[in-house]
Structure 1
Amino acid sequence: MSQSNSIRTQQITVFSVLYAISLVHLLNDTIQSVVPAIFPIIRTSLNLSFGQIGLIALAMNLTASLFQPFIGFYTDKRPLPYMLPIGVLFTLTGVVFLALAGSFSAMIVAVILIGLGSSILHPESSRVAYLAAGPRRGLAQSIFQVGGNIGSSLGPILTALIFVPLGQYGVIWFTFAAAGAFIVQMFVAKWYKTHIANRPKASRTIRAAKPLSRKMITYSMVILIMMLFSKFVYLASMTGYYAFFLMDHFKLSNGRAQLFIFALLAAGTVGTFMGGPIADRFGRRNTIWFSILGTAPFSILLPYANEFFSAVLCICVGFILHIGFSVIVVYAQELLPGKVGTVSGLFFGVAFGLGGIGSAILGSLADSMGISFIIQICAFLPLIGLLAALLPTDSKLNAAAAIETTA
Structure 2
Amino acid sequence: MESKPKIQYSKIAVISLAHLLNDLYSNYLPQMLPFLVVLYPGFTATRGAIIVSAFSITSSLTQPLFGYFMDRQGKRWLAYIGTLWMATMLSLTGLVHNYLLLVVLAALAGLGTAVFHPQASTMVNVLSRDRKAVLLSVFVAFGNFGFALSPLLLVPLFQAYGLKATVVTIIPGIIVSFLLFLFSPRDQVLKGAPPTLSAVFKSLKESAKELIAIVSVIAIRSLAYTGLLTILPLYFKYKNLSNIQASYLVTIMLAAGAFGGIIGGFISDYFGRKQLIIGSLVFSTPLFFAFLLTKGILSTIFLALAGSALLASFSVTVVAAQEAIPENKALAAGLTMGFANGLGGLAVIVIGHIGDVFGLTAAVRILFILPIIAGLTGIFMKSRPAARLQRQSQQM
**Superposition TM-score tier, normalisation by shorter sequence:** 0.7 to 0.9
Letter in 2 for 1:312: I
Q: Does residue 187 of the first structure (1) align with residue 182 of the second (2)? A: yes
Q: Distance in 2 between matches of 1:167 and 1:256?
A: 26
What is the aligned partner in structure 1 of residue 147 from structure 2? 152
Deviation per CA, 1:276-310: give whole Å up to 9, x if none: 21112222111011222221112344456546555
Distance change in 2, residues 1:53/1:202 (3 Å): closer
Distance change in 2, residues 1:202/1:52 (3 Å): closer
| Contact preservation (8 Å) 2:58, 2:110 | yes
What is the aligned partner in structure 1 of residue 28 from structure 2? 34
Q: Distance in 1 between matches of 2:322 and 2:204?
A: 15
Aligned length: 381
Letter in 1 for 2:268: A
Distance change in 2, residues 1:397/1:193 (3 Å): closer
Q: Does residue 236 of the first structure (1) align with residue 226 of the second (2)? A: yes
Letter in 2 for 1:145: V
What is the aligned partner in structure 1 of residue 275 from structure 2? 286
Q: Distance in 2 between matches of 1:202 and 1:121?
A: 19
Q: Does residue 13 of the first structure (1) align with residue 22 of the second (2)? A: no
Determine helix, strand or coil for the equivalent of 2:327: coil
How big is the alpha-carbon RMSD for the aligned residues of Structure 1 and Structure 2? 3.5
* Equivalent runs, 1:202-213 vs 2, <5 Å: none
Q: Does residue 273 of the first structure (1) align with residue 256 of the second (2)? A: no
Determine helix, strand or coil for the equivalent of 1:99: coil
What is the aligned partner in structure 2 of residue 328 from structure 1? 317
Deviation per CA, 1:48-106: give whole Å up to 9, x if none: 55554444433222112232111111121222221122212321123223434657545
Determine helix, strand or coil for the equivalent of 1:294: helix
What is the aligned partner in structure 2 of residue 210 from structure 1? none
What is the aligned partner in structure 1 of residue 384 from structure 2? 394
Q: Does residue 80 of the first structure (1) align with residue 75 of the second (2)? A: yes
| Contact preservation (8 Å) 2:276, 2:313 | yes
| Contact preservation (8 Å) 1:227, 1:292 | no
Q: Distance in 2 between matches of 1:41 and 1:370?
A: 29
What is the aligned partner in structure 1 of residue 90 from structure 2? 95
Distance change in 2, residues 1:51/1:266 (3 Å): same
What is the aligned partner in structure 2 of residue 117 from structure 1? 112
What is the aligned partner in structure 1 of residue 246 from structure 2? 257
Q: Distance in 2 between matches of 1:42 and 1:369?
A: 31
Shift of 1:28: 0.7
| Contact preservation (8 Å) 2:60, 2:114 | yes
Q: Distance in 2 between matches of 1:306 and 1:354?
A: 34
Q: Which moved more, 1:31-40 or 1:225-234?
A: 31-40
Q: Distance in 1 between matches of 2:68 and 2:222?
A: 23
Determine helix, strand or coil for the equivalent of 2:76: coil
* Aligned partner (choices 343, 363, 378) of residue 367 of structure 2: 378
Q: Does residue 142 of the first structure (1) align with residue 128 of the second (2)? A: no
* Aligned partner (choices 200, 203, 210) of residue 220 of structure 1: 210
Q: Distance in 1 between matches of 2:57 and 2:63?
A: 10
Deviation per CA, 1:32-58: give whole Å up to 9, x if none: 123345556656876655554444433
Letter in 2 for 1:340: K
What is the aligned partner in structure 1 of residue 17 from structure 2? 23
Structure 2 unmatched runs, 5+: 196-202, 391-396
Letter in 2 for 1:317: A
| Contact preservation (8 Å) 2:71, 2:194 | no
| Contact preservation (8 Å) 2:219, 2:341 | no
Distance change in 2, residues 1:390/1:202 (3 Å): closer
Q: Which moved more, 1:129-138 or 1:108-117?
A: 108-117
Determine helix, strand or coil for the equivalent of 2:186: helix
Distance change in 2, residues 1:102/1:355 (3 Å): farther
Structure 1 unmatched runs, 5+: 204-212, 401-407
Determine helix, strand or coil for the equivalent of 1:149: helix
Q: Distance in 2 between matches of 1:81 and 1:124?
A: 7
TM-score, normalised with respect to structure 1? 0.81
* Equivalent runs, 1:298-313 vs 2, <5 Å: 298-303=287-292, 306=295, 308-313=297-302
What is the aligned partner in structure 1 of residue 284 from structure 2? 295
Letter in 1 for 2:76: P
The percentage of aligned residue pairs carrying the same residue is 24
| Contact preservation (8 Å) 1:43, 1:53 | no
Q: Distance in 1 between matches of 2:316 and 2:39?
A: 41
Q: Which moved more, 1:39-48 or 1:95-104?
A: 39-48
